[in-house]
Amino acid sequence: MFDTTAAFVTTGRSGYELLADPQLNKGTAFSETERDAFDLHGLLPPNVSTLDEQVSRRLQALRSFETDLERYAFLRELQDTNETLFYALLVGNLEELLPIVYTPTVGAGCQQFSRLFRKPRGLFLSIPHKARIDRIFAQPRFDAVEAIVVTDGERILGLGDQGAGGMGIPIGKLALYTGCGGLHPATTLPILLDVGTDNSDCLTDPLYVGWRHERVRGQEYDDFVEAFVSAVIKRWPRVLLQWEDFAKNNATRLLERYRDRLCTFNDDVQGTAAVATGTLLAAVNVTGVPLTEQRVAVLGAGSAGCGIASLIRAAMRDAGLSESEATARFYMVDRDGLLVEGMPGLTSFQLPFVQARKAIEGWKLDHPDRIGLLDVVRNARPTVLIGVSGQAGTFSEPVVRAMAECNGRPIIFPLSNPTSRAEATPVDIEAWTEGRALIGVGSPFPPITRGGARFKVDQTNNSYIFPGVGLGALAVGASRVSDGMFMAAAKALASSSAARDNPKHNLLPPVSALREVAAKVAFAVAIQAHQEGLTADVPIDRIDQRIHAKIWTPRYVPYRRKMD
């Protein structure tokens, strides 16, 4: 476990070498004593600043930029220059900076990754260097690694194949692991599996930094992933590995292949499911309609949509429904319409949620050969509408108004990222439901007006879940990440809802409270792991202590020079 409470740091670096290390650099905050010891006089302005003064200076500069992409580039540069300052800025201004560090701005950051590239961060593992993975991992700089986020760049948010530009996602996710969950940045490692790209804009761009090759698939792809996972287990046997933004044909398949070999999960499948389930549990408390009576329509029946349905179905079983009773309450709609039995091309993870032909007999349809979302809302009368389609505007006015007609308080979650891909805007949902909808969105939107006052829209974002899941799993040395641990995370999030006491309040805590949420989620996850026998030898009464011992607060500590 990395020591987050060390009273001082010992290093043999000095001069420019010390200033060039983002994990060690303090910039103008090096004391006079440290400047003497590390040969820094003359390399820095003479005034010694405090961390608070540096944060104020950087925040002022950040706010001077005109676009969020400029702010994103500025923060990435700061992260690569002085990590303590970067995280002090982020932790102190989470609500303002989260949309820049991650969604929605990270989407543009991925699209512009090759043009914004300045300094290496993390690891780019390409197929031509498959035989070198062990050697790459062996660098002493990575000795402290405990958490890895990996992508192959094929399904970045709702933007599709971004090739090497997908590296922006692991970098951003791990920034939230530290900013929200408190993991020390030295214990985190972003990785891109560069298997090529089918994005012609990348392949023809003379500035593209990735491997110029069409995307490798099939057995060669699987062999490369296997070589990567095997090398990870060999180098870091107790590591937490998070899969991120893999295409639907690989996301669930790889999760199932590796979930019992190491401590791993897929955030798009399981994290999205947990935050959606937690927010739904909070919403159910407001509507007064029991979970066992909810009917759920999901637009986007890929790995994320089916992951959401699976966890909500498990919650329904916990509430008393049988497996078949719970399953019948889901209506999964994909590009070819409602999933029904006998439909060709269904994947293994979609099959549990197909509707029986008999169940939809007698439905009035606009087009008998395809059952669209509006057909589902009009005939099934769902109480919950969730969107993970990546298709903007698909929660149309007729769809939303139909939801409002059959529900006093319709629950509507357009969760697709980035903002430009959201199925509907909160302003439109508010207007089309006459202010009665309970709304959750995947990316931040401006406040709406409700009851004559400004009302912040709940950001049903995975940042409420995955930092706490990772923190809890690592704190107790969990060998696996189970479905039960994600259910515990969802219920912990729901228990944090201000709407439990006042239905007029938000379903989720404010983004500014994400550190507190992560600690609460971590405790629930760690307790669940302990109950399932998945933890190292950690007494249950020491779990809270172990969690807080892992939470790093960005601050400068004194340095001592290592003598030869």
What's the CA gap between 79 and 111, in Å, rounded? 19
Residues of the chain with CATH 3.40.50.10380: 50-246
Residues catalogued as catalytic: 102, 173
What's the CA gap between 404 and 381, in Å, rounded? 10
| Sign of the Cα pseudo-torsion (428, 431, 433, 439, in order) | positive
- Residues 50-246: name the CATH superfamily: Malic enzyme, N-terminal domain (3.40.50.10380)
Nearby residues of 38 by Cβ (< 8 Å), 6 or more positions away: 13, 14, 15, 18, 30, 559, 561
**How many Cβ atoms sit within 10 Å of the Cβ of residue 454?**
10
Read off the pLDDT band of 205 (50, 70, 90).
Answer: very high
Q: Residue 125: what pLDDT?
A: 98
Read off the pLDDT band of 564 (50, 70, 90).
Answer: low
What's the CA gap between 467 and 188, in Å, rounded? 12
367 pLDDT above the threshold of 80: yes
Q: Residue 2: what pLDDT?
A: 60
For 370-393, the pLDDT digits (tens) are 999 999 999 999 999 999 999 999
- Residues 270-463: name the CATH superfamily: NAD(P)-binding Rossmann-like Domain (3.40.50.720)
175 pLDDT above the threshold of 70: yes
Q: Residue 535: what pLDDT?
A: 93
Read off the pLDDT band of 418 (50, 70, 90).
Answer: confident
Whole-Å CA distances, 416 to 12, 424, 548: 47, 9, 33
Q: Which SS3 state, helix, strand or coil, does residue 135 take?
A: helix
Nearby residues of 448 by Cβ (< 8 Å), 6 or more positions away: 426, 427, 430, 439, 454, 455, 457
Q: How many CA atoms lie within 13 A of 207 on its CB side?
A: 9
Whole-Å CA distances, 438 to 144, 296, 403, 512: 43, 14, 12, 21
What's the CA gap between 411 and 422, in Å, rounded? 16
Per cent of the chain over pLDDT 90 is 93
Helices 68-79 and 94-101 pack at an angle, to 10 degrees, of 90
For 104-115, the pLDDT digits (tens) are 999 999 999 999
For 241-298, the pLDDT digits (tens) are 999 999 988 999 999 999 999 999 999 999 999 999 999 999 999 999 999 999 999 9
Read off the pLDDT band of 417 (50, 70, 90).
Answer: confident
Average pLDDT over residues 130-148: 97
Is-contact 550 183, C-beta < 8 A?
yes
Q: Residue 1: what pLDDT?
A: 52
Residues of the chain with CATH 3.40.50.720: 270-463
563 pLDDT above the threshold of 90: no
247-253: long-range contacts, CB 8 A cutoff, minimum separation 24: 247/154, 247/155, 248/155, 248/302, 248/303, 248/304, 248/347, 249/347, 250/152, 250/154, 250/221, 251/155, 251/302, 251/303, 252/303, 252/306, 252/307, 252/347, 252/348, 252/349
φ and ψ of 343, to 5 deg = -70, 135
Mean pLDDT of the chain: 96
Average pLDDT over residues 125-136: 97
Q: Residue 141: what pLDDT?
A: 93
